[in-house]
Amino acid sequence: MGSQSIYTKENLLDSNEFRKQAHIMVDFIADYYENIEKYPVLSQVEPGYLQTVLPKSAPYCPEPIESILKDVQDYIVPGLTHWQSPNFFAYFPANGSIAGFLGEMLATGFNVVGFNWVSSPAASELESIVIDWLGQMLVLPKSFLFSGSGGGVIHGSSCEAILCTLLAARDLVLNTIGSDSIGKLVVYCSDQTHSAFQKASQIAGIHSRNFRAIKTTRSTSFALSPHLLRSTICSDIEDGLIPLYLCATVGTTSTAAVDPLGSLCNVTKDYGMWVHVDAAYAGSACICPEFHHFIDGVEGANSFSFNPHKLLFTMLDCCCLWVKDPNALIKSLSTSPEFLRNKATDSKQVVDYKDWQISLSRRFRAMKLWIVLRSYGVEKLRNVLRSNVALAKLFEELVATDNKFEIVAPRKFSLVCFRISPSAISKAKSSIIFNSKSETNKSYINEINNKLLESINSSGGLYMTPTVVEGVFVLRCAIGATLTQEAHVRMAWNVIKKHADVILNMHV
Ligand SMILES: *Cc1c(COP(=O)(O)O)cnc(C)c1O
């Protein structure tokens, strides 16, 4: 320490130093976007690769940002799967944008911890305002908005939104029947519902034998049948159980299937159940009037959530949740320790978002959503979402007009589900009799399609992920990464065809 006093504290937020280093960082990121197509989309590293190249312990002395960024380029970038690549067609997109980035930057820059109103009034108030804006863009009924009798909150993920609403529903019922009856509560979904719901049910203490994943079929486009829902509920009631909660989905993860909200809510209302609508992926598209009909019937639900961090350009993480009865949520999740007491809370005139979520501390996520909505405006956002759907239609046509392939589930948004067709495999296998209905041949068809996907992904040219529906292995082409243009979609199709030809010649 030399002659320096212990009181001479180093300033780790010096504004000049910040300016200098942050500019270097922005340049680094801009270069990354500029060069992103040069990298294999799916990272090709082996498990444990990073341990072999990084030091075994943290540096004792400071290192300059330039040498850190050099290591990022040399060691970290090869271990990235490039979600912002225009050739990323896996999972669902996590769209970046300049506005989303700047919003994230500003929120991080302020680094306020807005757990209640007084801890940062602007953070709470902006969140309530921006969530009403977005609710209006979705034409959600007034009963979900602050300007009506409901309200909304920004969570980090759909998993949290589902869990919190399930807790609210559970406690409403347990308050009347007594907490000893928790073993009687039953929750419902389809076999296409995201695994987030199963996890939420486990955490909420719903007995695993009371978790109903109702079967869907290809013939009904993998939508949950209101008829089957009713008969399942009825038989549970006969068994002395209590129907609690339905998690309906608009845009399932496997195939973007849409559950019929109106008819499902007609069933659940007879049993006083809570209905949550998980529109994590497809909610974004529903800001376009022509896709709004997919959430018709939402007025019968109790809560609705979707992830602007998927298709609405807000960067991770941002899940918007609207509830008709905020008090139900607050009753389950609020605590009031002495150290958080304040006049504003006591006045009951403010929203304390800590009571609408699991954690106490929270990021200023509303900032990025606000900047995204303002920077682009509703019209431009709609048009980009429309282009994604148009590009998916283009890809779908390319697949559908090639008889080596088939579409496995009808396309509704910008996800195309397809595979090499059994007839193409059967044709290539013409030397023997090939009945595509036999179990052996079904698994053979799956194996060929799995090989196709692996071969495409290991080429690095593009990245897609699979799903399995009714025992059928499916390739999912999820279009909508911010940088994806028509040329990338056509290129992807050419790569897929090339690999399929090789596989069909080699293995069949
Ligand atoms: C992506 C997705 C989820 C999970 O979202 P998280 O925010 O990662 O929890 C849930 N449901 C559906 C339909 C999804 O597409």
CATH number, position 28: 1.20.1340.10
Q: 240 by DSSP, 3-state: which?
A: coil
Domain termination residue (choose one: 82, 103, 135)? 82
Residuewise pLDDT in 10s, the chain (508 residues): 556 788 999 999 999 999 999 999 999 999 999 999 999 999 999 999 999 999 999 999 999 999 999 999 999 999 999 999 999 999 999 999 999 999 999 999 999 999 999 999 999 999 999 999 999 999 999 999 999 999 999 999 999 999 999 999 999 999 999 999 999 999 999 999 999 999 999 999 999 999 999 999 999 999 999 999 999 999 999 999 999 999 999 999 999 999 999 999 999 999 999 999 999 999 999 999 999 999 999 999 999 999 999 999 999 999 999 999 999 999 999 988 888 999 999 888 999 999 999 999 999 999 999 999 999 999 999 999 999 999 999 999 999 999 999 999 999 999 999 999 999 988 877 655 566 677 788 899 999 999 999 999 999 999 999 999 999 999 999 999 999 999 999 999 999 999 999 999 886 6
Q: 336 by DSSP, 3-state: which?
A: coil
Cross-strand bridge partners of residue 405 = 420
Q: 469 by DSSP, 3-state: which?
A: strand
| Contact assessment for residue 256 and residue 415, using Cβ atoms and an 8 Å cutoff | yes
Residues 134 and 240 in one domain: yes
- Rounded-to-integer distance, Cα 415 and Cα 391, Å: 10
Whether the model clears a pTM of 0.85, i.e. scores above it, the answer is yes
- Rounded-to-integer distance, Cα 193 and Cα 235, Å: 21
Secondary structure in 3-state letters for 202-264: HHCCCCHHHEEEECCCHHHCCCCCHHHHHHHHHHHHHCCCEEEEEEEEECCCCCCCECCHHHH
Residues 407 and 273 in one domain: no
Closest CA relative to residue 281, chosen from 303, 260, 250, 259? 250
Q: 480 by DSSP, 3-state: which?
A: coil
249 lines ligand 1 (CB under 6 A): yes
* Chain-centroid distance, C-alpha 149: 27
Which amino acid appears at position 359 of this protein?
S
311 lines ligand 1 (CB under 6 A): no
Residue nearest to atom 5 of ligand 1 (CA): 158
Longest CA pairwise span in the chain (Å): 89
- 5 is written with which tokens? 């006093």
Q: Does 7 map to a domain?
A: no
Residues 199 and 338 in one domain: yes
Residue 236 lies in domain: 113-363
Residues 232 and 189 in one domain: yes
Report the domain count for the chain: 3
Residues 245 and 349 in one domain: yes
Instruction: Please report the atom of ligand 1 found closest to the CA of residue 281.
Output: 15
194 lines ligand 1 (CB under 6 A): yes
Closest CA relative to residue 497, chosen from 414, 395, 412? 395
- Rounded-to-integer distance, Cα 491 and Cα 479, Å: 13
253 lines ligand 1 (CB under 6 A): yes
Domain at 323, CATH number: 3.40.640.10
**Cis ω before 317 (30° cut-off from 0):** yes
